[in-house]
């Protein structure tokens, strides 16, 4: 530091005089102040880290390789990583602590008793953690998935009517139509007999097709021809998943210098332009016609998501802004297509592995639709498929679409056994871990739909099965998703038989949702129409 000041003074041609000494002092003082403040911050950080580490010692830790990496890289986003989670849960039945490097602890919670105080806490006490969700922000903005505090509470209350049963009933026709389009493609592919199809590829396009109609009343025909908007959503989902597992790309300034960062921005622009254009046109139509005339123009038509949000008001009578509506629409498009596609793909896979259960579901659907002219699933049919619903739930237990959700509590959380989760720590509610916990589900790797019959369900904790999360921040669209899944699964089993493609190994891959590496391929065989 003295050499630096000497160089500065020589540059300024100052002699070694009293003035020079004063100048040195003036230059050194702010540098010493900055250094002192940095040392204080480092000391405070080390002290807080030490205290936090001591408070977390009540939670068990799996063995780690070394001090620097700790448990980083122990649970990878692949088949081996999920197998490791199952081993950890079999050893640590309630919770376990893992360190991602020397300074970042993550508490994984895998038992309903431990999950309850976190999941049922208010959104202010247990907000979502930005480390795991922050990469979605440029795409989804402050929609329900990412917002916190008062804004989240206001939007949750305003959006709840959009998922009322009376609204969902009107979407049944769309679910049937989109499924029929997908099945039309399958019929063409199977003209010469059974063919192996990647479930994720076809079902993702089908769910996006349904959502575009439910959210925007827009038919892009994306199942049969390319759509820039749909391609952008698929690209964004892929890019966010990749970035999450590339530590260097966690820095925004570095990520957006790279090709993937530029692709991400371009895809965001496409999605945002489409959504903003729809919202703006609806807003103009509403203002020009007036509320009463506008509602009259919608009579006899399906009220889509944008229509409902344009009418939504809070307690003060205030409406959502165009930006808020766009963020919620983008969030619904993202959350609604991926999770439903995952749930459907895996339930077809599990029924392909268990043909007896598949036949039992098919018989249930055939009996339900017997004597009807149209092969359409109606709203009143949904509760009339108990065994099919049990098979869906057991599939979502074994293969939950979302494997974990994270919270970072703003205050200490007391657990039933007296242990305390210190505030500020990341709590990973492991949905996959809980669903595979032998203390919660005996023989957790066995596919057994009868776990969800009426009697067995009453004996389980409500938090033992949570494919749509739990508590105040559970998935607002879960009834929408379950209705769509039942329609698609029922019509698929009515028209096709699915079998395992033994030539393609199935390896689970947890990303934003639970996928399969290299696709989830099943043999699809058309069935003769039942008269």
Q: Binding site residues for heme, as ranges?
A: 475
Q: Is 464 left (phi over 0), alpha (psi -120 to 50) or beta?
A: alpha
DSSP tag of 319: B
Buried b (16+ CB within 10 A) or exposed e, 107-142: bbbbbbbbbbbbbebebebbbbbeebbebbeebbbb
- Pairing mode of beta strands 521-526, 404-408: unpaired
Buried b (16+ CB within 10 A) or exposed e, 213-233: bbbbbbebebbeeebebbebb
How far apart, in whole angstroms, are the C-alpha atoms of residue 192 and residue 194? 7
Mark the binding-site residues, compressed into ranges. 475
Contact present, 167 and 311 (Cβ < 8 Å): no
How far apart, in whole angstroms, are the C-alpha atoms of residue 123 and residue 369? 43
- Give, in degrees to the nearest 5, the angle at Cα 458 between 172 and 455: 90
Token readout for 197 is 């199809």
How far apart, in whole angstroms, are the C-alpha atoms of residue 295 and residue 302? 11
Contacts 24+ apart (CB under 8 A), 414-418: 414/117, 415/113, 415/114, 415/117, 416/113, 416/114, 416/116, 416/117
Residue 155, burial from CB neighbour count under 10 angstroms (0-12, 13-18, 19+): buried
Q: Which residues pair with 109 in a beta bridge?
A: 95, 429
Token readout for 171 is 């979407």
């Amino acid at each position: 530091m003295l050499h630096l000041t000497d160089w500065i003074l020589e540059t300024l041609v100052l002699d070694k005089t009293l003035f020079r000494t004063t100048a040195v002092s003036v230059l050194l003082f702010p540098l010493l102040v900055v250094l002192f403040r940095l040392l204080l911050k480092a000391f405070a950080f080390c002290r807080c880290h030490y205290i936090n580490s001591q408070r977390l010692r009540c939670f068990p830790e799996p063995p780690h390789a070394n001090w620097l990496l700790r448990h980083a890289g122990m649970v990878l986003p692949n088949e081996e990583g999920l197998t490791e989670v199952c081993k950890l849960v079999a050893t640590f039945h309630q919770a376990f602590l893992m360190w991602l490097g020397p300074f970042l602890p993550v508490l994984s919670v895998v038992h309903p008793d431990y999950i309850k105080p976190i999941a049922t806490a208010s959104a202010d006490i247990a907000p979502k953690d930005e480390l795991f969700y922050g990469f979605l922000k440029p795409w989804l903005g402050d929609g329900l998935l990412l917002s916190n505090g008062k804004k989240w509470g206001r939007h949750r209350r305003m959006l709840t009517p959009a998922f009322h049963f009376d609204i969902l009933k009107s979407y049944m026709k769309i679910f049937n139509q989109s499924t029929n389009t997908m099945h039309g493609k399958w019929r063409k592919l199977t003209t010469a007999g059974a063919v192996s199809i990647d479930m994720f590829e076809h079902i993702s396009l089908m769910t996006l097709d349904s959502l575009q109609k439910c959210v925007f009343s827009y038919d892009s025909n994306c199942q049969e021809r390319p759509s820039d908007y749909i391609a952008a959503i698929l690209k964004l989902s892929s890019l966010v998943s990749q970035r999450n597992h590339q530590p260097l790309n966690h820095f925004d300034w570095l990520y957006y210098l790279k090709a993937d960062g530029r692709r991400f921005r371009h895809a965001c622009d496409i999605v945002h332009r489409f959504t903003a254009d729809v919202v703006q046109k609806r807003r103009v139509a509403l203002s020009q016609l007036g509320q009463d005339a506008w509602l009259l123009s919608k009579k006899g038509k399906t009220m889509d998501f944008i229509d409902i949000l344009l009418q939504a008001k809070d307690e003060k009578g205030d409406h959502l802004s165009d930006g808020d509506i766009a963020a919620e629409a983008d969030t619904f498009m993202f959350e609604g297509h991926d999770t439903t596609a995952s749930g459907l793909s895996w339930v077809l896979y599990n029924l392909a592995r268990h043909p007896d259960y598949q036949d039992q579901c098919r018989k249930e659907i055939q009996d339900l639709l017997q004597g009807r002219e149209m092969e359409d699933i109606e709203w009143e049919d949904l509760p009339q498929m108990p065994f099919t619903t049990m098979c869906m739930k057991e599939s979502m237990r074994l293969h939950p679409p979302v494997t974990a959700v994270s919270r970072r509590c703003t205050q200490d959380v007391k657990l039933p056994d007296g242990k305390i989760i210190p505030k500020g720590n990341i709590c990973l509610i492991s949905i996959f871990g809980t669903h595979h916990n032998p203390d919660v589900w005996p023989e957790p790797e066995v596919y057994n739909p009868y776990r969800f019959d009426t009697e067995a369900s009453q004996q389980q904790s409500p938090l033992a099965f949570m494919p749509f999360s739990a508590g105040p921040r559970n998935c607002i669209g879960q009834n929408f998703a379950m209705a769509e899944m039942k329609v698609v699964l029922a019509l698929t089993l009515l028209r096709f038989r699915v079998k395992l493609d033994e030539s393609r190994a199935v390896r689970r891959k947890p990303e934003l949702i639970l996928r399969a590496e290299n696709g989830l391929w099943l043999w699809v065989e058309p069935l003769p129409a039942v008269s």
